[in-house]
């Protein structure tokens, strides 16, 4: 298959210097959302849907009426709500669906972030920028706009919260889909002997890309995966991201130079790509969005989990820690140093990142603002509390309402299958 744009040059990494996981687990481990991310976990979202559309005309109409009431209540300058509701009713009666105005789309996307119960970074929900690409259904056009999304979100390192919304699902036409969990992912090459070079989480999608004709990268632990995009009424196709669309941060430790010699890095923009934006009964399955990272997502999960890059044993060995027993707390000590390295490296590179202590205080500020606005905030305690030093943060010491609200970001039944390679593995 023809490449979308010239392949991003893979930076050299030593295969022998990044440990491979001892085994590849079949179960999908959790991964938290970015701190300023409009949705929850990419594999275990706050809401699950069992089909790729929201229902028949009556279901759509009911959801549309609820959303339009919310929109006109919160945006009093949006015009005559009675006239707009009449237009929507007529459109649904004629076509089974309706098209949001630009203002409705923007507000719906922002409120979906506000409603994301597993996201700690909702203080800035109203700052989400919305790119309206609803007229695009072709895979090549979508891949090109995904690259544009990354460039605009990266913003020279000052990461912007951004969403790009592609064509919705309609009764007459299926929506396009992006198979990748995130726009930027690292390949995981199955060695055939139970190990994986790279990120084991992406081994299925890597195999799928190769079956579609992707020749693979250089075989390093940090080869960029291509996008796999399925246009409306089309088969999935692969597209390599251009190098100028992907900013990566080389990781180093603030005191020990040994860390930088390992060739570790991580990408700057966490753009979730396979969750559906549902607004007022309309489903947008291809709507990649991003915030910026909270350091623990990289340092306490992506690089530390035993079925991801599993770096803690190697760090502990370098630090000379006693790993013969968990009671020595070697994992805890190694984890802190790994997270220090992530924050130090992003700061040194001038790339936006936040820490779990700061973000916990910001979340409480969000709660206060929403309460003053007369709105209840739903939150999942298990996801709001950071994966390290939980009890040292203020979000630990309280309970939260778990009610799900709409608009929302959800997973449809096929999203997880596609992210694992679908029927192509």
Active site positions, annotated: 119, 122, 292, 297
User: CA-CA distance, 159 to 147, in Å (whole number)?
Assistant: 15
How far is it, in rounded angstroms, from Cα 161 to Cα 127? Answer: 7
Structure tokens at 331: 């994992």
β pairing state of 282-284 and 289-290: unpaired
Q: How far apart are CA 117 and CA 34, in angstroms?
A: 13
Indicate the burial class of 151 (C-beta count within 10 angstroms; 0-12, 13-18, 19 or more): middle
Tokens 């945006």 locate to 75
Strands (E), 270-311: 271-272, 276-279, 282-284, 289-290, 293-294
Q: How far apart are CA 164 and CA 145, in angstroms?
A: 8
Buried b (16+ CB within 10 A) or exposed e, 20-32: bbeebeeeeeebb
Q: What is the DSSP letter of 301?
A: I
- For strand 162-165 and strand 129-132, is the pairing parallel, antiparallel, or unpaired? parallel
């Amino acid at each position: 298959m023809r490449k979308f744009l010239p392949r991003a040059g893979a930076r050299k990494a030593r295969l022998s210097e990044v440990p491979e996981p001892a085994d590849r687990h079949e179960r999908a481990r959790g991964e938290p959302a970015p701190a300023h991310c409009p949705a929850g976990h990419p594999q275990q979202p706050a809401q699950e849907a069992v089909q790729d559309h929201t229902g028949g005309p009556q279901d759509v109409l009911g959801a549309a009426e609820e959303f339009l009431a919310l929109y006109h209540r919160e945006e009093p300058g949006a015009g005559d709500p009675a006239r707009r509701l009449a237009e929507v009713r007529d459109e649904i009666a004629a076509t089974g669906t309706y098209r949001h105005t630009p203002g409705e789309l923007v507000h719906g996307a922002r409120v979906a972030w506000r409603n994301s119960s597993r996201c700690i970074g909702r203080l800035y929900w109203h700052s989400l920028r919305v790119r309206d690409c609803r007229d695009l259904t072709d895979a090549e056009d979508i891949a090109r706009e995904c690259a544009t999304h990354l460039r605009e979100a990266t913003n020279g390192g000052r990461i912007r919260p951004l969403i790009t919304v592609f064509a919705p699902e309609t009764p007459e036409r299926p929506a396009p889909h992006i198979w990748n969990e995130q726009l930027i992912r690292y390949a995981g090459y199955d060695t055939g002997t139970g190990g994986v070079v790279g990120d084991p989480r992406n081994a299925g999608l890597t195999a799928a890309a190769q079956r579609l004709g992707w020749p693979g990268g250089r075989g390093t632990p940090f080869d960029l995966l291509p996008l796999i995009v399925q246009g409306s009424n089309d088969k999935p196709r692969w597209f390599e991201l251009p190098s100028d669309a992907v900013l990566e941060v080389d990781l180093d430790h603030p005191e020990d130079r040994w860390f930088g010699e390992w060739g570790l890095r991580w990408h700057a923009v966490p753009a979730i790509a396979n969750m559906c934006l549902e607004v007022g009964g309309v489903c947008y399955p291809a709507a990649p969005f991003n915030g910026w990272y909270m350091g623990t997502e990289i340092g306490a999960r992506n690089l530390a989990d035993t079925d991801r890059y599993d770096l803690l044993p190697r760090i502990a060995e370098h630090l000379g820690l006693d790993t013969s027993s968990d009671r020595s707390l070697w994992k805890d000590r190694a984890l802190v140093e790994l997270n220090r390295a992530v924050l130090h490296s992003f700061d040194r590179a001038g790339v936006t990142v936040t820490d779990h202590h700061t973000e916990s205080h910001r979340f409480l500020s969000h709660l206060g603002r929403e309460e003053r606005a007369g709105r209840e905030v739903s939150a999942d305690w298990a996801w709001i509390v950071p994966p390290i030093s939980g009890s040292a943060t203020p979000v630990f010491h309280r309970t939260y309402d778990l009610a799900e609200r709409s608009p929302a970001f959800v997973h449809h039944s096929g999203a997880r299958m596609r992210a694992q390679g679908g029927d192509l593995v």
